[in-house]
Amino acid sequence: MLNLRRVLERQHKEEEEIRQRRADEDWEADEEEEEMLAATVCMLNQSRQHRRRCAPNVDKHRESRGKNLLKDYFIPNSLYPVSKFRERYRMQPHLFPKIMHDICNYDTYFIQKYDAVGVLGLLPKQNLTTALRMLAYGASAEQVDEIARMGKSTI
């Protein structure tokens, strides 16, 4: 009986040691997984931060360009005469506001609104002028950007 008791105690100790080893191995495996996950997250954050720094924003002075456009063509005592407006826009000056009104009612892209950063967007007249130049002259976004100072992504 004493021998049986010793054998059972020995088996119990061996089973307990096996359980402890398995628990230690599981803990080490979990720890390795956590380290791998942390390293992966760190690498992703670094790559995202790197991409953000690659393309800095360029101030294109859109607000002043819009004011200049209004002064040049759309106020009563504009800088350029009606003949210059007709030459550049290829239409009578009274037709432009009608087109702009209809397009703004049709598509909200042409309406002036704030962007995600809180900066006021382009005037409807700037957007329409750009669209008309692209259509009238077959100009690409890069060509219109040089004139209107609108980024390709904005056009």
Instruction: Give tens-digit pLDDT for 10-66.
Output: 888 888 888 887 777 777 767 788 888 888 887 777 766 655 555 666 677 788 888
Q: Region 115-142: what's the mean pLDDT?
A: 85
Q: How confident is the model at residue 153 (pLDDT cuts 50, 70, 90)?
A: low
φ/ψ of 114, rounded to 5, equals -85, 145
Distance CA(65)–CA(38), nearest Å, equals 48
**Cβ atoms within 10 Å of 110's Cβ, excluding its own:** 21
Question: Which value, to the nearest 10 degrees, does the dihedral of the CA atoms of residues 57, 74, 76, 106 take?
Answer: -120
Per-residue pLDDT tens for 73-122? 999 899 999 999 999 888 999 999 999 999 999 999 899 998 888 888 88
Any idea what DSSP says for residue 117? T
**Ordered DSSP codes for 129-151:** HHHHHHHHH---HHHHHHHH---
Which residues contact residue 22 at a Cβ distance below 8 angstroms, ignoring those fewer than 6 apart? none
